[in-house]
Amino acid sequence: MDRFYLRCTRCHTKRKFELTGRCACGGTLLVHYDLEQVAHTLSRDALNSRIASMWRYRELLPLASYESIVTLGEGWTPLIRLPRLERRLDLSEVHVKREEQNPTGSFKARGFSSTISMLHEYGITRVAVPSNGNAASAMAAYAARAGMEAYVIVPRDCPGIIMEECRRYGASTFQVNGLIHDAGAIIEQGKAEQGWFHAGTMKEPGRVEGKKTMGLEVAEQLDWKLPDVIIYPTGGGSGIVGLWKAFRELGELGWLADRRLPRLVSVQEAGCAPLVSALRDGGSVRPVPEPVTSSPTGLRVPNPPDGDLIASILRESEGTAVEVTTVEIARAQRQFGFEGLSSSSESAATLAALLQLRESGWIAAGESVVLFHTSHADKYLNWKPSPAPPVVSSYAELRQWL
C-alpha cells in the first residue's frame, strides 16, 4: 500500500493520491496515512533529534520524496505561557502559540510550504491563489523559493504592506473589486487559458496537511497532553481541519496521554460569522449575505468552501463558535500588548473569545487553554503601495495586464 492516499469526508471513498481536494460527491478529500508504516521510522523519541521546523514530521506530510521539500524555516514556533492571565481568569494554563514568527509573518507559511513542495514534486510551474492577504504573501514567497510563477488576487482593502510583500516575492499581484470568493471566481475562469494551478482553500489536499503541523507541535510541546480548549481564529477553516486531523493521527499512533479531543473553538468577527450562526441554529453553514461588514482580515470569509466539515468538527469535539466585535478585538490587542505580544486582530480575537467564554462559564475554573496567535500586527500597518496593483472586476480585465 502507498504510504498515503486520499479519502472523502462524505462518501468515505478511498483513492490514490492526486492534486485534487474535492470528491465527485461534493465532499472534501483529505490525506490518510498508513500509520503502521509511519511508525517504523517515526517515534516520539526520534523527534528529539529532528530539525526545528514543521518538516520534523515529514512522514506525516504528503510527499513521495523529501528532496521535494520547499522550506523557508517554517514551524516549530514557540508556545509560551501567560501566568498573569492564568491567575486573573483562574485557569490552570493559558498558552499562546506564536505563529506570527513563521516566515511571511503568519501560519499560512506552513500550508504553502507543504502545498508548494507537493506541486513542485508534480512539476507544476504556475500557481494562483485568491486570498485576504496572508495566504497570498505566503504563496508568493514559497513559489519564489521553488522557482514557480505566482499570481495572487486580494480584495481592495487588503493591507498595503501585504500587497507590497507579494510583489517583492515576484508575484503578479491584483486587487479584486469584491471579496475573496470573487477573486476565486476569476482564477477559476482564467486557469485553463493561463495554465494556473488554483491553490485556494480546499482546492488541493496539501494545505490542510501543512496546517496540521500546528496541532502536532502543540501536542509535542505539551508533552503529549492536550489542553482542554483550543481557540482558533477561523476564516476558510482549514486550520481547524488541520488541528483535528493532527489529534486524530496522534491518537491512532498511540502517542497521546488521552485521546479525547480538546474542545475546539472557532472565533469569528461580528458581521461575518457563518460558523457561529450554523452552530447556534443547528443547521448547515450558509453564506453571509452581502454587504459583509466585518474588517478586512483573514477572518472575512463569507462563504467557506466546506463550512459543514468545519461545523461537524467543532460539534464532534464538543466545541463551539463565538463572535467578537471590533471593540473587543481592540481591547484584547492592548491586553496582548501588555504581555509583550504584538497582535493582528485575528490573533487578538482569540483572547477576546477566551474572556467571553470564561465569563459565561463555558470555560471552567482550572481548565487549560491554547490560543493561536496566527499573525503579526505589523502586517496591518496603514501603508499604501505605490504604484497600487491593478484593480480588476473580471478575468477579461485581468487578462489585459498579462
Ligand X SMILES: *Cc1c(COP(=O)(O)O)cnc(C)c1O
Positions that interact with ligand X (CB under 6 A): 106, 108, 134, 233-239, 298, 344, 346, 374-375
Q: How far is the CB of 15 from Zn ion (least distance, A)?
A: 9
Give CA–CA dist 32/13, Å, rounded. Answer: 12
Q: How far is the CB of 29 from Zn ion (least distance, A)?
A: 8
Amino acid (1-letter code) at residue 57: Y
Phi (first) and psi of residue 2, to 5 degrees: -60, 155
Q: Which is nearer to ligand X, 217 or 346 (CB)?
A: 346
Q: Which is nearer to ligand X, 29 or 38 (CB)?
A: 29
- Give the one entry of Zn ion, ligand X, none that residue 10 binds, where binding means its C-beta sits below a cut-off of 5 to 8 angstroms depending on kind: Zn ion
Residue whose C-alpha cell reads 482549514 in the numeric block:
238
On whether the CB atoms of residues 390 and 401 are closer than 8 A, the answer is yes
Give CA–CA dist 173/178, Å, rounded. Answer: 15
Q: How far is the CB of 260 from ligand X (least distance, A)?
A: 23
- Give the one entry of Zn ion, ligand X, none that residue 343 binds, where binding means its C-beta sits below a cut-off of 5 to 8 angstroms depending on kind: none
Q: Which positions ≥6 away from 107 have C-beta within 8 Å? A: 99, 211, 214, 239, 372, 374, 375
On whether the CB atoms of residues 150 and 139 are closer than 8 A, the answer is yes
Q: How far is the CB of 203 from Zn ion (least distance, A)?
A: 16
Q: Which is nearer to ligand X, 8 or 275 (CB)?
A: 275
Q: Which positions ≥6 away from 48 have C-beta within 8 Å? A: none
Q: How far is the CB of 272 from ligand X (least distance, A)?
A: 12
- Give the one entry of ligand X, Zn ion, none that residue 235 binds, where binding means its C-beta sits below a cut-off of 5 to 8 angstroms depending on kind: ligand X
- Helix, strand or coil, per DSSP, at residue 314: helix
Supply the DSSP symbol for 46: G
Q: Which is nearer to ligand X, 42 or 96 (CB)?
A: 96
Amino acid (1-letter code) at residue 298: G
Q: Which is nearer to ligand X, 335 or 347 (CB)?
A: 347
Strand order in the sheet with 14-15: 14-15, 4-8, 29-33
- Give the one entry of ligand X, Zn ion, none that residue 237 binds, where binding means its C-beta sits below a cut-off of 5 to 8 angstroms depending on kind: ligand X
Q: How far is the CB of 8 from Zn ion (least distance, A)?
A: 3
Taking CA atoms, 261 is separated from 12, 243, 379, in Å, by: 21, 10, 32
Q: How far is the CB of 299 from ligand X (least distance, A)?
A: 6
- CA-closest candidate to residue 265, choices 238, 295, 234: 234
Q: Which is nearer to Zn ion, 100 or 306 (CB)?
A: 306
- Give the one entry of ligand X, Zn ion, none that residue 27 binds, where binding means its C-beta sits below a cut-off of 5 to 8 angstroms depending on kind: Zn ion
* Strand runs labelled E in 319-367: 320-324
- Give the one entry of Zn ion, ligand X, none that residue 278 binds, where binding means its C-beta sits below a cut-off of 5 to 8 angstroms depending on kind: none
Give CA–CA dist 248/60, Å, rounded. Answer: 12
Q: Which is nearer to ligand X, 121 or 262 (CB)?
A: 262
- Give the one entry of Zn ion, ligand X, none that residue 21 binds, where binding means its C-beta sits below a cut-off of 5 to 8 angstroms depending on kind: none
- Give the one entry of Zn ion, ligand X, none that residue 298 binds, where binding means its C-beta sits below a cut-off of 5 to 8 angstroms depending on kind: ligand X
Q: Which is nearer to Zn ion, 10 or 331 (CB)?
A: 10
Q: Which residue is nearest to ligand X (CB)?
A: 298
On whether the CB atoms of residues 326 and 303 are closer than 8 A, the answer is no
Q: Which positions ≥6 away from 386 have C-beta within 8 Å? A: none
- Give the one entry of Zn ion, ligand X, none that residue 11 binds, where binding means its C-beta sits below a cut-off of 5 to 8 angstroms depending on kind: Zn ion
Reading the block at residue 257, the C-alpha cell is 496521554
Q: Which positions ≥6 away from 55 have C-beta within 8 Å? A: 61, 66, 69, 71, 75, 113
Q: Which residues bind Zn ion (CB under 5 A)?
A: 8, 10-11, 23, 25, 27
Q: Which is nearer to ligand X, 23 or 214 (CB)?
A: 214
